[in-house]
Amino acid sequence: MRISVFSVVSAFIFAGLLFGSAGADQTDKVKHEYVGAKKCKICHKKDGIYPSWAKSRHAIAWDSLSTEKQQDEKLKFYYTTGTTAKGELLTGVQCEVCHGPGSNYKKKTIMQDRKLSVANGLIIPDETTCKKCHHDKAPAPLAKIAKDFDFEKAVANGVHQMHEADTTGTK
């Protein structure tokens, strides 16, 4: 199947617009769907990425909210990932909040090639990605944390262990 440059560019623009929306579906020629961190874990357990993310504040974000706050629809954007094709709400700030819905790039044969992964929906997060949630207009209780957000410190501390290719600029 050939994908035109226009389709790929459109998909990235569309993904950017819908990136953090809980349950938002992309409807372009290629539909990227959320699969959940459990799928990411299959390959990223041994390299340390999944285990280090699982210990992070992002992983437990949803569980840190009271039952009352979990009912607040405004907070779902900041504390959940989205909804799978089967309608399962992915709680916590899982991999796909930052890296994009993984249905089309989750295969090992695709993930081994960074360009192919990106062409299939993988997002390489940057400061703009983080600031979709970490900004001073975020609702409480996130606003207090977001107010003092420093991208450079966040990168230095890491949300999760970095893959060697991410730290060396290769691949």
Q: Is residue 58 part of a domain?
A: yes
Domain that holds residue 42: 5-124
Does residue 151 form part of some domain?
no
Q: Calculate the alpha carbon distances from 43 to 17, 38, 109 in Å.
A: 28, 10, 11
pTM confidence score: 0.74
What CATH number did the domain enclosing 23 receive? 1.10.1130.10
The full DSSP string for 13-76 is: HHHHHHTT-TT----SSS---B--HHHHHHHHSTTSHHHHHHTSTTTTTGGGS-HHHHT-HHHH
Q: What is the count of structural domains for the chain?
A: 1
pLDDT digits (tens, 9 = 90+) for 114-123: 999 999 999 9
Q: Is residue 50 part of a domain?
A: yes
- Tens digits of residue pLDDT in 53-108: 999 989 999 999 999 999 999 999 999 999 999 999 999 999 999 999 999 999 99
- Is residue 35 domain-resident? yes
In a domain, 138, yes or no: no
